[in-house]
Amino acid sequence: MFVELNNLLNTTPDRAEQGKLTLLCDAKTDGSFLVHHFLSFYLKANCKVCFVALFQSFSHYNIVGQKLGVNLTVARERGQLVFLEGLKSAVDVFFQTQEEPHPLQFLREANAGNLKPLFEFVREALKPVDGGEARWTYPVLLVDDLSVLLSLGMGAVAVLDFIHYCRATVCWELKGNMVILVHDSGDVEDEENDILLNGVSHQSHLILRAEGLATGFCRDVHGQLRILWRRPSQPTAQRDQSLTYQYKIQDKSVSFFAKGMSPAVL
């Protein structure tokens, strides 16, 4: 996890808020560093993490995780991490026997209406184990990324319903957190993606938006991060809730600075 980002968000693994949905979105840049941050953050917070990883392979996340101080293989073996490797299990849909519906069952169906099997996979992964001692603090669902589901043929409303049900179960019922990555297509006219992005935005408590610089690529400033807090429980809680920082990604950390204050130009 990136300590500087924790400072900006005013949070640490041991005193993070619960029951919150965080939306990560990226426009004209790669926002996956935020996914790696939250994955390591919640593993360090001793949470039970269900990671629906549709974009990269397990080893990719593991390699980056090791740089950030977490070992995904160990976490999976301990039962702390439930990892759905989309790239691998998509193939299993075709070669597995049909006893129980596969989470990615919609890949087989011509007119898949909904993502109920995927939701049930998540619910099963995060449901509290009764009888055992509480090993983990609270459950966390991480999805990288939701736009892949649109590319695979699901409608925006079906994906929004999946998020809705996950929110009802993970955030409300189990008092856990959700972190979802959605790409912002930007100028490319993608109505379904816009509906998805706006729909999840309205359900989110915190939106982290990584944008490329308007002036193009820069060696010392990789992009800009906008932080927007929404849905405070008290309506008047600091209305001025949007912050913007620029950042530079290094090998094992990300440094943040105010706009125009990159160490390279000072």
Partner 1 sequence: PPRTDVPNTASAHPGSPCGSASAKDSVEWEGRSLLKALVKKSALCGEQVHILGCEVSEEEFREGFDSNINNRLVYHDFFRDPLNWSKTEEALPGGPLGALRAICKRTDPGPVTIALDSLSWLLLHLPCTTLCQALHAVSHQDSCPGDSSPVGKVSVLGLLHEELHGPGPVGALSSLAQTEVTLGGTKGQASAHILCRRPRQRPTDQTQWFSILPDFSLDLQEGPSVESQPCSDPHIPPVDPTTHLTFNLHLSKKEREARDSLILPFQFSSEKQQALLRPRPGQATSHIFYEPDAYDDLDQEDPDDDLDI
Binding positions for partner 1, rule: CB under 8 A: 114, 116, 119, 157, 160-161, 164-165, 168, 172, 194-195, 198-199, 201-203, 207, 228, 230-231, 233-236, 239-240, 242
**CB of residue 128 vs partner 1: minimum separation in angstroms?**
17
Q: Which is nearer to partner 1, 87 or 195 (CB)?
A: 195
Q: Which is nearer to partner 1, 28 or 116 (CB)?
A: 116
| Burial of 130 from C-beta contacts in 10 A (0-12 / 13-18 / 19+) | exposed
**CB of residue 198 vs partner 1: minimum separation in angstroms?**
4
Q: Which is nearer to partner 1, 107 or 195 (CB)?
A: 195
Q: Which is nearer to partner 1, 97 or 233 (CB)?
A: 233
**CB of residue 8 vs partner 1: minimum separation in angstroms?**
19
Contact 207, 184 (CB under 8 A): no
**CB of residue 234 vs partner 1: minimum separation in angstroms?**
5
Contact 159, 196 (CB under 8 A): yes
| Helix H or strand E encompassing 263 | none
| Helix H or strand E encompassing 82 | strand 81-85
Please enumerate in sequence order all residues whose Cβ is within 8 A of that of 111, keeping only pairs 6 or more positions apart, or say none: none
CA of residue 89 relative to chain centroid, distance: 19
**CB of residue 32 vs partner 1: minimum separation in angstroms?**
22
For residues 81 and 2, give the distance between their C-alpha atoms in angstroms, rounded to a whole number. Answer: 20
Q: Which is nearer to partner 1, 40 or 193 (CB)?
A: 193
